[in-house]
Amino acid sequence: MGTLAGCVVVVGSSHVDFTVQLDRMPRLGETVIGKGFKVAPGGKGANQAVAASRLGAKVFIVSRVGRDYWGGFLRENFVKNDVSVEYLVEDEEEQTGVALILVDSEGRNIIAVAPGADRKVSREDVDRAERVFREAGAVALQLEIPIETVIYAAEKAWRHGVRVVLTPAPVHPLPEKLLEKVTVLTPNRVEAEELTGVKIRDLKDAATAGTILVERGVDNVVITLGERGAFLVNAERSVHIPPFKVKAVDTTGAGDAFSGALAVALAEGKNVDDSVRFANVAAAISTTKLGAQEALPERGEVEEALKLLGF
């Protein structure tokens, strides 16, 4: 078991988000004039790393950026957010990854990603971080890097008795040898539907989808349902974790806020129910501000909200 309670290792993507705010999404072939433009650090791995750090964890990022302006931009951002860059590699052949994001007036988003150096995150990168894998309380993974690297990182964490949080996004077929090493899988509704073939219209459907994934080897499945909260399924039970109600401004990065917070809570030794509740609140707070990392909450914000809920 990891020896550093509250230590989180994130293996994943680091890229730059270019976001345009719109009144509405363009139709195919249509140009819509935007209301604002912003450049910000992003990537699911980077977002989860910063989320975990803001919530008080000691965080190590295992990732790659290009040897270019944007790579330096991302490195500086990690340092500013107290995320260790000891295992952040500058790739000499690939450019830093980018994401192009459109956000409408209702907070919905469409995202296209050019992965660049993200596609080069490797088993060797994971091996370089062996020391912190041994010490970690949790390892957070996503699917914006090669699936082979994700599987390898999950196996390494499992061998060291470290809890694994896997965000299956962008959605990708998941082999049993990966699922069997995952402590908590965190698909959203659409991802859960893709992974199971079950159309999720209500909580009963969520239970059915979650059960399918548990039967494939995952310890716990948490299907995130946006404003409806989250649904937890494991071999013992299925339970709905109600949402922390807020006025959403931008849902970009909410899933990463959830998974980063979940990893922190698990790394601190919280049980799965309390960890999901903690993550629910963190994700909800993140939707009340624009952007991905800029909107990630601090520990005090989440704890204050939990008190309001009676926890």
Looking at residue 201, what is its pLDDT?
A: 95
Looking at residue 4, what is its pLDDT?
A: 57
Average pLDDT for runs of 10 along the chain of length 311: 74 94 95 93 95 97 97 98 98 94 88 92 98 96 97 97 96 95 97 97 96 97 92 96 84 90 97 95 90 86 85 74
pLDDT one-digit tens code per residue, 99-125: 898 999 988 889 888 999 999 999 999
Burial pattern 20-40, b for ≥16 Cβ within 10 A else e, equals ebbeeeeeeeeeeeeeeeeeb
Are the beta carbons of 43 and 97 closer than 8 angstroms?
A: yes
**Is residue 82 among the annotated active site residues?**
no
Contacts of 275 (CB under 8 A, 6+ apart): 184, 262, 265, 266
- And the tokens for 184? 């908590």
Give percent of the chain with pLDDT exceeding 70.
98
Residue 150, burial from CB neighbour count under 10 angstroms (0-12, 13-18, 19+): buried
E strand or H helix at 66: strand 58-66
Domain segments of the chain: what residues? 7-26+33-308
Specify the length of the chain in residues.
Answer: 311
Looking at residue 47, what is its pLDDT?
A: 95
Looking at residue 85, what is its pLDDT?
A: 98
For residue 58, the 8-state DSSP code is E
Catalytic residue among 91, 205, 256, 273: 256
Looking at residue 5, what is its pLDDT?
A: 62
Looking at residue 1, what is its pLDDT?
A: 47
- Give the predicted TM-score (pTM) of the model: 0.91
pLDDT one-digit tens code per residue, 219-257: 999 999 988 999 999 999 999 998 888 888 878 789 999
E strand or H helix at 256: helix 254-267
Cβ neighbours of 269 (radius 10 Å): 12
Q: State how beta strands 138-141 and 109-114 pair.
A: unpaired
| Right CATH for 7-26+33-308 from 3.40.30.10, 2.40.50.140, 3.20.20.80, 3.40.1190.20 | 3.40.1190.20
E strand or H helix at 111: strand 109-114
E strand or H helix at 180: none
